[in-house]
Structure formats: structure tokens, C-alpha cells
């Protein structure tokens, strides 16, 4: 990446604080093995960090071509894929999911009342908008939420496990699980984006990986993004790490023994992709470009604007709508939610620098990205540390990037 800091309107000395912070606070202290950061403003690359090791055990350094587990940073790509079908007139946001997946017509909600928990019809059926915004009533646990009792779990004919044999099987199994709340009334991080990937298959008549590759990845030149790592590229694949009880960095997944070496049967639209820093930066820049990058259009400007506005009821934030004890890849105060991306409601509401209208998401291995249309800015951060939220990279990077703006 050839930098043009002046064209980006940023200060080189202040940008250097990014490397100093990540190297001295995280890499040199052994909190993470390595990381990469890209900052682009006004279309000009302003900063590139390549720090530490991608594979500590083999002494392989982080490079621009390092392949990272995207985990939940897969979700915005799934959202874009589904919205390309919206642009073809194949669905409306407020269409019931059951219109396309009939087994969802009999979904029930686990509702707590004076006599305990009972299964009741939803006040309104879950819609595609509910899936895209995590307000469907689904969860990321086997019971979709704490309200579902052991008796109700036993009453299900089939119970979805941690892994599914296919997107189709997942959708059918989830149709038999009680929802944790009435659709549209709460926010809970969930399998919903995987269901969106299944909708891509139903609407397009193609497998999710094939459709995503043809309609999003190939047009954007995202050549290293996919659901598995070919043997020829395994030397570029980062190791994944966690911390033990004594806060020491330990190997969680060796690249040579990784599940990503084999193409999966379950094409997770919620967390299945691997990618590189340049690839994901191209995706983020496409979103900043209102659906287009380097003359190639993936979505129309109005569609991207629809995706990146706050769709939470009444314009509220996640702090007010999310289920207590729930989880997401960003903070909740002053953070709304669009169609598979979090939407900032402004620095006063969030307590974090950056204007209203910026949008973002992250992944389970502590990766994150954001797009800021006001400052004409995109930032992508890659590392491999489980779980997300171990360190607050998101807010720290925001402070470090915005303090370097010089115009």
C-alpha cells in the first residue's frame, strides 16, 4: 500500500501513535501475537500497521497478505449479498420470513406470565428486517434466550446444536425453537444473519458461497476471501490465540490443523469467512463509496443508505433495546443498528469520538472495522485473539485515528 498522508489530510507524526500504542501496549507485552491496521481517508491510504507475528510458533510475521478469520465481520458481507436481491425486487424488508421458508409459519414465542412460561403466537411474524437487525427473537444459544425453560427444550422435536450440516438444515431446525421475545421488541445477537444467508440461497437458487463470490467478492477483487484456506495459501494463514487463567497468550488454533483447511458444509453467513486486510478494506471502501469502488457497482447509493441508517424502533440505541446480558461486537450506548451494521448516533451519546452516521462491526477474534461518511474515512483492524472484547481495541483505535486528522 503506497501511502499519501498529505492527500488524506492527516498528520504523520500523530499517525505514528497507532503503531506505538499497539506495539508497546499489546505486542511487546505478549497480549497479542500481532496485528494489522489500514487507514484510508479521502481515497488516499494514510496509514498501514503490520506489527508482530501472524504465527508466533513458526515465527511468521504479519504481512499485508496475511489471512485472518473474519468471524462476525462476515455479517455485513451477507447483508450486502442479500440486499443485491432486494434490488432485484425479490423481497421487501417487511416480508415475513415464512413467505420464503414456510416452516417458519408456526413459530411461537416463549412468553413469561403469572403461571410461568408458555408458547404464544408472535404479535407479528418475524420479517427479513428483523433478521437483518437482530430483532427477530432468535439468539446465539441453544434456547434463544434465558426465558426458555428445560421443559420447553425437551418439547422440541429436534434441537439445533452448535453446528449445522447446512444452511437449509439450520433454517428448518430454528423454525422449531421458541423465540425469546416478540419480533421487533428487543435486540439480541443471533443466528439471524445465518438465516439471511439461507434466504440468499432460496431467493437466488444458488449456494451461498457461489452467490457471494459472483455478486460481491469477485466484482470487488476480494481474491483472498472465502470459507476455507487453500493448501497453497496455508503459510499466510494466521494462528488464532486466547489467554489462559494466568493471562498468558496460548495457541487456540494452529493454521496447519485448522478447520478452515476444508471447505465447510455449513456456509455461515454469520461468521464463516476468512479474509485479508486489503480485501476487507476494499469491501469497506465500497460501502463508503455508496455501493461502488473503482468503477464497479455492487449496490446502489440509496440501498447503502438504507442499510446504514438506524432501524431500531423509535430511533433508540442498543443500550435501551438489547436483552440484558446479551452480547454484540460493539458498545451499546449511543449505538443504533442498521441492516447488519451498527450505526453510531454521535459522540455525546456514545462517549466515543466520531460523528453520527459512522457504521461498523467486529469479529470474535477481536477484529473490527468502521466507515465514516462524514470524514470520508475507512479503518480496518485485524488480529486473532479470542474472545472479542478482551481488550477495547475499537474505542482505542477510534481515539488514535481521529486525533491524527489534520484538516
Reduce the DSSP state of residue 203 to 3 states and report it.
helix
Cβ proximity of 290 and 304 under 8 Å: yes
Reduce the DSSP state of residue 265 to 3 states and report it.
coil
Cβ proximity of 12 and 349 under 8 Å: no
Cβ proximity of 227 and 263 under 8 Å: yes
Reduce the DSSP state of residue 322 to 3 states and report it.
strand
Q: Which residues contact 17 (CB under 8 A, 6 or more apart)?
A: 400, 403, 404
Cβ proximity of 347 and 326 under 8 Å: no
Reduce the DSSP state of residue 255 to 3 states and report it.
helix
CA distance 44 to 377: 9
Q: What is the pLDDT of residue 164?
A: 82
- State which residues of the chain have pLDDT below 70: 141-163
Q: What is the pLDDT of residue 152?
A: 35
Q: What is the pLDDT of residue 148?
A: 40
CA distance 184 to 93: 13
Q: What is the pLDDT of residue 117?
A: 85
User: Please, what's the largest Cα pairwise distance for the chain?
Assistant: 67
CA distance 279 to 275: 6
The CA radius of gyration of the chain, in Å to the nearest whole number, is 21
CA distance 240 to 230: 17
What's the CA angle centered on 318, arms 336 and 22, to 5 degrees? 80
Domains of the chain with CATH codes: 84-204 (3.40.710.10)
CA 132 vs. chain centroid, Å, equals 12
> What DSSP character marks residue 148?
S
Amino acid at each position: 500500500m503506497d501511502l499519501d498522508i498529505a492527500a488524506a489530510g492527516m498528520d504523520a507524526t500523530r499517525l505514528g501513535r497507532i503503531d506505538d500504542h499497539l506495539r508497546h501496549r499489546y505486542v511487546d507485552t505478549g497480549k497479542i501475537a500481532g496485528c494489522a491496521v489500514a487507514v484510508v481517508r479521502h481515497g488516499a491510504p494514510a496509514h498501514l500497521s503490520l506489527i508482530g507475528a501472524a504465527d508466533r510458533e513458526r515465527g511468521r510475521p504479519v504481512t499485508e497478505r496475511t489471512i485472518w478469520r473474519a468471524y462476525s465481520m462476515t455479517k455485513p458481507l451477507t447483508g450486502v449479498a442479500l440486499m443485491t436481491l432486494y434490488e432485484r425486487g425479490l423481497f421487501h424488508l417487511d416480508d415475513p420470513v415464512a413467505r420464503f421458508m414456510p416452516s417458519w409459519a408456526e413459530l411461537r414465542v416463549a412468553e413469561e406470565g403469572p403461571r410461568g412460561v408458555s408458547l404464544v403466537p408472535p404479535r407479528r411474524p418475524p420479517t427479513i428486517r428483523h433478521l437483518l437487525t437482530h430483532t427477530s427473537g432468535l439468539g446465539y444459544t441453544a434456547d434463544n434466550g434465558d426465558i426458555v425453560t428445560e421443559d420447553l427444550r425437551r418439547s422440541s422435536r429436534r434441537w439445533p446444536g452448535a453446528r449445522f450440516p447446512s444452511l437449509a438444515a439450520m433454517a428448518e431446525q430454528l423454525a422449531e425453537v421458541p423465540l425469546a421475545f416478540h419480533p421487533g421488541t428487543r435486540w439480541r445477537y443471533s443466528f439471524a444473519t445465518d438465516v439471511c444467508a439461507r434466504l440468499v440461497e432460496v431467493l437466488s437458487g444458488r449456494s451461498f458461497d457461489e452467490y457471494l463470490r459472483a455478486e460481491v467478492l469477485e466484482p470487488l477483487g476480494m481474491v483472498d476471501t472465502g470459507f476455507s484456506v487453500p493448501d497453497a495459501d496455508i503459510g499466510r494463514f494466521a494462528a488464532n490465540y486466547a489467554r489462559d487463567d494466568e493471562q498468558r497468550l496460548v495457541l487456540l488454533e494452529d493454521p496447519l490443523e485448522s478447520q478452515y483447511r476444508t471447505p465447510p458444509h455449513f456456509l455461515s453467513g454469520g461468521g464463516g469467512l476468512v479474509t485479508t486486510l486489503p480485501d476487507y478494506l476494499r469491501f469497506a471502501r465500497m460501502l463508503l463509496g455508496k455501493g461502488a469502488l473503482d468503477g464497479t457497482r455492487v449496490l446502489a447509493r440509496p440501498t447503502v443508505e438504507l442499510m446504514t441508517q438506524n432501524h431500531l424502533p423509535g430511533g433508540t440505541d442498543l443500550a435501551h433495546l438489547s436483552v440484558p446480558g446479551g452480547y454484540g461486537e460493539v458498545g451499546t450506548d449511543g449505538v443504533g443498528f442498521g441492516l447488519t451494521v451498527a450505526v453510531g448516533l454521535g459522540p455525546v451519546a456514545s462517549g466515543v469520538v466520531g460523528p453520527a452516521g459512522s457504521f461498523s462491526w467486529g469479529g470474535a477474534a477481536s477484529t473490527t472495522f468502521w466507515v465514516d461518511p462524514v470524514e470520508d474515512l475507512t479503518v480496518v483492524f485485524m488480529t486473532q485473539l479470542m474472545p472479542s472484547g478482551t481488550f477495547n481495541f475499537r474505542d482505542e483505535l477510534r481515539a488514535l485515528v481521529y486525533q491524527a486528522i489534520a484538516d
